Structure 1
Amino acid sequence: MCQTKAQFVETVNKLLHCQKGAISKSEIKAMVTYLGEVTQVFTDTDMNDSPKTQTACGVAISPVQAAKCFEETIRTQMFAQGVANAIADKLKVEIKPVRILYAGTGPYATLLLPLLAASTEQLNVEITLLDIHQENITAVEALIAHFGLESYQIELVHGDATQWRPNREQQFDIIISETMTALLKREPQVFIFKHLVQYLRSDGVLIPEQVSLKTWLTPQSKQSKGDLLIGEFFCLDRERAQALNRGDDTCFCAELIIPDGDWAEHVVKLTTDIQVYRDLSLHEGDCSLNIAFAFSPYDAVLTANQAIVFKYVQPDSPDFSVIFPKPEWKQTNFKLPQPSDTGALGLVQIKRSFQRAYLIKRGERAATSEQEWQAELYLYDALSLNSREVIGKMYELERFTDFEKWLSEQVTPLDNVTINAINYQCLAKITDAGT
Structure 2
Amino acid sequence: MGMSKKWILATTLIGMPLLAAGCAGDDEAEGTGEEREVDLSFMHWRGEDQAVFDVLIDQFESENPDINVEQNVYPSDQYMATAQRMLQEGSTGDVFATFPGAQFEALESAGFFEDLSDEEFVANFDEGAIEVGQADGRQLALPYQLVFNMPVYNTEIFEELGLEVPQSWDEFIAMGETLKENDIIPIAFPGADIGPNQFMNSMVMNNAPDGAFTDLVAGEAALTDDWWIQTLEQFQYLQENDFFQEDALGTNQDAAMALVANGEAAMLATGSYHMASLLELNPDLQLDLLAPITVSEEEARYEGIHTATFMLAINSNSENKEAAAEFIEFLSQPEVASQYANETGQHLTVTGVEYESEALQNTSYWIDERETRFQPRYMITNAQVEDAVLSSIENVIGGAAPEEAAAEAQQVVEEVTE
**TM-score bin (small chain):** under 0.3
TM-score normalised by structure 1 residue count: 0.25
Structure with the largest fraction of helix? 2
Query: Which is higher, the Rg of structure 1 or of structure 2?
Result: 1
Q: Relative contact order: is structure 1 or structure 2 higher (C-alpha 8 Å, sep ≥ 6)?
A: 2
Structure with the largest fraction of strand? 1
TM-score normalised by structure 2 residue count: 0.25
